Structures are given as C-alpha cells and as structure tokens.
Amino acid sequence: MTRSPSLRYHPRTFAALASSVNAGRGKHLCPIRPVPLLQRYILGELLRIFVFVLFCLTVLVNFVGVFQTASESGLGPKQVMEVLPFIIPSMLPFTIPAALLLTVCLVYGRMAGDQEVTAAKAAGISVWTVLWPSLLLSGVLSVASLVVTDQVIPWALSRIEQTIVRTMEDVFLERLQTDHFYSDRHRGIEIHVKGVTGRTLLRPVIKYVPKKGRTATLVANEATISLDIRKQRADVHVKQGYLDLGRNQQISVEDYEFEISLENEFGKPKPRNLPIREIETQIAEALEQEQDARDRRLVDVAMGLSIGDLDRLARMSRWGARPADKHSSTYYRLHTEIHSRYAMSCSCLFFALLGGPFAIFKAKSQFLTSFLYCFVPIVAVYYPLILGMMAQGKKGTIDPAWGMWIGNLALTLAASFILKRVTRH
C-alpha cells in the first residue's frame, strides 16, 4: 500500500483535500467536523509556534523587569525569587502582540514561500479562509490581554508591593535590633528601644518632632509597628505607657494606637495598577469634587453680591471650579487609562490583520524579513502615535474615546491596502 503524500510538502494535494472538505465533498476521506481540515492545520501551527515564541520573549523580557524591580526597591536574591512569578504578568501585554506578529509572519510566510497559499487559491479557497484562524487566535488573545491588564496585573503588583513592605519591615526591625535607634528627620520621628523580639519593640521611646507645634514623646513597655502600603501608613500599637506633651503634661495610656502617614514615601497608586472598576469609582469621585467646587463657587458669588463684597468676587479662583464641559487633570488621566486599555488590548487583532497578508504578499520563506518589515514601522509609527494620543488625552486636548484608536485605524488602512494586492494576485 502506498503512503499518501505529506500535506506540508505537497501543497496541491493539501489544497485539493482542504477544498473537498470545504465544499462538502470527499466524505470518504474524513468525517464531518466543526472546523475544516485546512483551518485546523493552520490554527495548530499558529498555536504551537505562538506558545514557543511567547515563552522565549517572556523569559528574555522578564530578566529586564526583575533587575529593574530589584534595583528600584533594593530587594535581595530571596525577595527577587519571591516576586519573579508576579513580574511575568506585567510583561504579557507587551510580549503577546509581538509574539503573535512574529508567529503570523512565520506561519504565513512559510506557507506562501512553499506555494501553499497559491495552491489554495487555485482550488477556489479565498485568502480570508486561510487568514481567519489567525484572526480567531488574535481575537482570543485580545480578550486575554484585557483581562491580564485589568485584573491580573493589579493583583500581581499588589503582591510585589507586599513583598517590598515585608522587606522594609525587616530592614527597619533589623536596624532597631542592632542600633537600638531609628531616626526619620523628614517626618520628625525618633525611636529608641531597649530591644526587639520578633516584631515587638521592648521599652520603646517614640519622639515626634513636627515642624510646627509641640514635641510629643511616647514611652511604653512594648509596641508593635506594621506597614500598610495600600492605606499608605504605619500603624503603631502601644501597650502600657504614657504620652509626654511637655510642660509637665503627661497622659497615661493602656492600649493606644496611632498611625504615621507614609504618603510621601510610597506615593499614590498609579491608574495602571488599578482595575477598571476602581478607576470608574475614582472618576465618579472626581466628578463629584468638580460639582462640589462649582456649587461652592456659586454660593460664594451669591454671598459676595448680596453683601456687596467685590473683593470676594476676585478670589473666586480659590475653589478651582471649572466649566461644565471641562474637567480636572485627574479625570482626564483616569478616562484615558480606561480607553487605552481597550485600544492596546485589541492591538493583537490588528497586528494579525496586517502581519498575515503582508507575509503572504512577500511570499518569502525568510519569515524574519516579513516580521521586520511589519515590526519596524509599528515601533516607529504605531507606538509613538499611541503614546502621543495618550499624552494629549491626559491633558484633555482630545477625547481618548476616539484618539486611542487612531493607531489601530492606521494599521487597518495599511492592512486593507495589502489585502487588495493579496486577493487580486
């Protein structure tokens, strides 16, 4: 019995078989399945190569992210290994589109170079039939990128921050255990201890020296300090002590808790680190603050006019009220973040829409050539355009609801031009 020729190396046999399946003929060759043989073959090639390319790119880019996080946060080797699994998700929104573009160029470039696409077209199969597996995969990856950006990355960054907080607590307690003294002149805090057991301070003397106001000294038998990075504060729990306010004023305390603000140390959470639900909540709060400023300004104007205080009208700018069609920088920044997530997550679909037809048009087995022809203009034009629109959206110059999609529109126009050439010849 002779062996049937390989589909990979005999494109005419491959295309004829796929055509018979698509047309409903050749039921004796294979049973009817939901996905035709040709699409299953292409989709399998795309998945196999995409997983490999994504793994390689993630490993390479992850080293950069690890070193950057370690250098910025002062993490040791042990802490680096702890945060390593949580750094990987933050790189996926950048590695997934690049890996997909490289995969599409590789698969369709090889098919075009082996004349498989030409044979499929000769058998009556349209180019869209050949391309739709890549569009299906890119659509799934677009949804996955949005989920990663909106849910996984904020969760991963919170875990990284928790590791950094534990490191800061360990460094803080080790210094107290070694030197029995800690000073933070920026916040006006001095801590003297007799010893440290675990996370408990023995015989602590905590002195608070504000820039304005009286110095307060807290003396206790023991106290515990814990950092809360989400609320940006340090919680101090004191047991059995007294508070010395100076001028012979002492207050006895049995079980006392107070907090130290660390807002300047950690900074406010960035919109990129928040899910869309929390961003929308902050947008609603920003709109309420804007309306409240308008109401206060209106009341102040009415009071100034009623009592004839014209100087009061000159001080209306203190409320920071804006017209109804203008918003604060916080609103524009948060509004832009939401639309940028949707637009950049869908970039996978537009990358595949451009990369597949271009690889077929070049019809070269050297897939790297097609990849560079696509990727270099994307890096030189697409991403600068997206970043420029993002900057203008945060300033309120343009509406990000359409501004963030200009880059994808440019990719669509380029893809439509290439598709005409591919479908025609």
- Cα–Cα distance for residue pair 72/64, rounded to 1 Å: 12
- Cα–Cα distance for residue pair 355/405, rounded to 1 Å: 18
- Quick one: pLDDT at residue 284? 87
Question: Which of 360, 347, 359, 361 lies closest to 412 in space, CA to CA?
Answer: 347
Question: pLDDT tens per residue, the chain (425 residues)?
Answer: 444 333 344 444 444 444 444 444 444 444 445 667 888 888 999 999 999 989 888 888 777 666 665 555 555 666 667 777 777 888 888 889 989 988 998 888 888 888 888 888 888 888 888 899 999 999 999 999 999 998 888 888 877 777 776 666 666 677 777 777 777 666 667 777 887 877 777 888 877 776 666 677 777 777 777 766 566 566 777 777 777 766 666 677 777 776 665 554 455 667 777 888 888 888 888 888 877 777 777 776 677 667 666 565 555 555 556 666 677 788 888 889 999 999 989 999 999 998 888 888 887 556 677 777 777 888 788 888 888 999 898 888 888 889 899 989 999 998 899 888 888 76
- Cα–Cα distance for residue pair 409/412, rounded to 1 Å: 5
pLDDT in tens, 303-322: 766 766 656 555 555 555 66
Angle CA(285)–CA(286)–CA(287) in degrees, nearest 5? 90
- Quick one: pLDDT at residue 40? 85
**E strand segments, 120-247:** 181-184, 189-192, 195-197, 200-202, 205-208, 216-228, 233-246
Taking a C-beta distance cutoff of 8 angstroms, is the pair 46, 133 a contact? yes
- Cα–Cα distance for residue pair 288/291, rounded to 1 Å: 5
Taking a C-beta distance cutoff of 8 angstroms, is the pair 21, 38 a contact? yes
Taking a C-beta distance cutoff of 8 angstroms, is the pair 125, 104 a contact? no
- Quick one: pLDDT at residue 193? 81
Alpha-carbon separation of residue 233 from 257, 259, 260, 287, 354 (angstroms): 13, 6, 5, 27, 49
